[in-house]
Amino acid sequence: MSWETHIADATVEIFSTMLMMEVSSQPPLTERIKSHQDSVTGMVGMAGLYKGMLAIHAPSQVAMTITGNFLGLEVDSVNDDVKDAMGELANMLAGSIKAKLSDNSKDIQLSIPSAVCGDSYSLDYQPQQGSSMVPFESAGGRFLVELQLEQQT
Amino acid sequence: MDFAQAIIEATSDVFNTMVMLEAAPGMQATEKTTAFNDAISGILGFSGDIKGMLRINCPNQVAMAITGSLLGMEVEEIDDDVRDAIGEIANMIAGGLKIYFTRHNHIIELSIPTAIGGQSYTVHSLANAEWVAVPFTLAAGVMVVELQFVGLK
């Protein structure tokens, strides 16, 4: 089973149906990027049959473009709308990936989304069974979708 | 259910039995702190009867003191050990909360911990989530343990 394919399919689908944005997936990164500069990260936890975390990382400029498309308004700073939109996007991506991982919707449950932003921050976690980071290109710029998953036995 | 009490019990248990450092709980916070400088936050999502996020926020000095005591060694800089330790502390506190909630007939499942750190970052959660935060005073400074959640009937 390829998590990268699930990430790519879910992201392309959600951007095209919810944000009316065409995005294309790039080959998964062989080494994850953990430091982010002038960026916004939306994240949501996954619990149950699979435990994990889904995150979407975008440079501030790209996050503003995404939010503008999402909400249909002009966005000129990283305000609460942008943080809410990135958190909600993480929530939608995780919801879509969760449906691809298991037919039973009760097997995986999502936490509430959260967002982090700033000039310079890093995200770390202990090595899990599976982790992948997929870059996407859009007209607004490049962003990353990251999934860490651990299947419960 | 008393969420502040849940935080105090779970955190004190981890500090008394695992970290072996005194962490004195203070009054429940009334104002959210969302911007951090030179700090590390351990974040963990959970779902089930209550959906939410646990976050522990530590200034770098506090994070290093906790890591040093947990691992029994001198810690002089923010390295992978510190990031792993703060994620693991979040995981252990979440485990304690899960037990507390279970005693009150609320079942939750945990996701995996992530450590966020940096010179300058802000954290953001859903506007409509409930929020409870308790500060703990250690010799090295103040750590704040926060819970954001929805769904409790």
Subunit contact B124:A117, Cβ cutoff 8 A: yes
Share of chain A above pLDDT 90, in %: 84
pLDDT at A152 (0 to 100): 73
- Strand pairing report for A130-138 and B130-138: unpaired
Mean pLDDT of A133-144: 96
Q: For chain B, give the DSSP string.
A: --HHHHHHHHHHHHIIIII----EE-PPPSS---EEEEEEEEEEEEEESSEEEEEEEEEHHHHHHHHHHHHTS---S--HHHHHHHHHHHHHHHHHHHHHHHHTT--EEE---EEEEEEEEEEEE-TTSEEEEEEEEETTEEEEEEEEEE---
Q: Where are the domains of chain A?
A: 3-27+37-151
Mean pLDDT of B25-41: 95
Quickly count helices (H) and strands (E) in chain A.
Answer: 3, 7
Among B144, B132, B143, B116, CA closest to B50: B132
pLDDT at B97 (0 to 100): 98
User: Which ipTM value was assigned to this complex?
Assistant: 0.91
Q: For residue A47, what are its two tokens?
A: 């619990």
Disruptive mutation site among A33, A36, A112 for chain B (greatest number of B CBs within 10 Å) = A112
pLDDT at B21 over 60: yes
Its CATH class, for the domain covering A3-27+37-151, is alpha beta
pLDDT at A128 (0 to 100): 63
Instruction: Work out the pLDDT band at A153, boundaries 50, 70, 90.
Output: low
pLDDT tens column, A31-84? 999 999 999 999 999 999 889 999 999 999 999 999 999 999 999 999 999 999
Among A139, A135, A108, A101, CA closest to A21: A139
Subunit contact A116:B122, Cβ cutoff 8 A: yes
pLDDT tens column, B119-130? 999 999 877 899
pLDDT at B136 over 70: yes
Domains plus CATH for chain B? 3-150 (3.40.1550.10)
pLDDT at B152 (0 to 100): 66
pLDDT at B25 (0 to 100): 98
- Is residue A28 within 8 Å of residue A132, measured between CB atoms? yes
B77 at A interface, C-beta within 8 A = no
pLDDT at A7 over 60: yes
Mean pLDDT of A112-126: 93
